[in-house]
């Protein structure tokens, strides 16, 4: 009898975990793309998390990864960002995890160093050399 109670508890916990996972997937699917870089669709929550992480590092004077992110983005391509100021770039990962080092992938968020405002998303995907194209 004691063993069956433990099994019942484990079974219910497993069902609850599956339900929570299904809810998270459902919530993600109900959101709309804010930026599409290559074939990756980023939601506002993905962008907000990347900008927050990059801006926090920038404010602390810290960098991560071999590319030393965040770093100043010079906008050699001449994109039409909403604001002017010193831009910083920071990786946004197609795994939807927040970048903390390692391979940065092709996609970046751009934010203002003065206040952390999100300015846009850019990607190396579809660009020549080390250039960027703007995400749609």
Confidence at 31, pLDDT banded by 50, 70, 90: confident
Asked if pLDDT for residue 19 goes beyond 50, the answer is no
φ, ψ for residue 118, nearest 5 deg? -70, 130
Asked if 27 is an active-site residue, the reply is no
Q: Name, in order, each residue with C-beta under 8 angstroms of 106's C-beta and a sequence gap of 6 or more.
A: 37, 38, 123, 124, 125
Q: Which pTM was predicted?
A: 0.78
Sheet arrangement for strand 71-73: 71-73, 87-91, 107-112, 118-123, 133-134
Per-residue pLDDT at 90:
98
CA distance 61 to 82: 25
Asked if pLDDT for residue 8 goes beyond 60, the answer is no
Asked if 71 is an active-site residue, the reply is yes
Confidence at 30, pLDDT banded by 50, 70, 90: low
Question: Kind and range of the H or E element at 88?
Answer: strand 87-91
Q: Which of 108, 129, 130, 131 is nearest to 119 (CA)?
A: 108
Asked if pLDDT for residue 29 goes beyond 90, the answer is no
Confidence at 49, pLDDT banded by 50, 70, 90: very high
Per-residue pLDDT at 27:
53
Does 95 or 27 have the greater pLDDT score? 95
pLDDT tens, residue by residue, 33-48? 999 999 999 999 999 9
Asked, as a colleague might, if the bond just before 70 is cis with ω within 30 of 0, I would say yes
Length reported for the chain: 136
For the chain, give the percent of residues with pLDDT over 70.
78
Does 99 or 27 have the greater pLDDT score? 99
């Amino acid at each position: 009898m004691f063993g069956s109670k433990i099994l019942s508890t484990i079974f219910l916990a497993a069902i609850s975990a599956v339900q929570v996972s299904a809810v998270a997937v459902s919530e993600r699917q109900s959101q709309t793309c804010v930026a599409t870089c290559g074939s990756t669709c980023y939601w506002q929550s993905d962008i907000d998390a990347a900008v927050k992480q990059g801006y926090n590092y920038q404010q602390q004077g810290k960098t991560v990864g071999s590319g030393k992110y965040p770093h100043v983005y010079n906008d050699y391509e001449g994109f039409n960002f909403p604001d002017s100021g010193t831009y910083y770039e920071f990786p946004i990962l197609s795994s939807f995890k927040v970048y903390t080092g390692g391979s940065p992938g092709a996609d970046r968020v751009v934010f203002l160093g003065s206040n952390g405002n999100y300015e846009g998303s850019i990607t190396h995907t579809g660009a020549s050399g080390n250039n960027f194209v703007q995400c749609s």
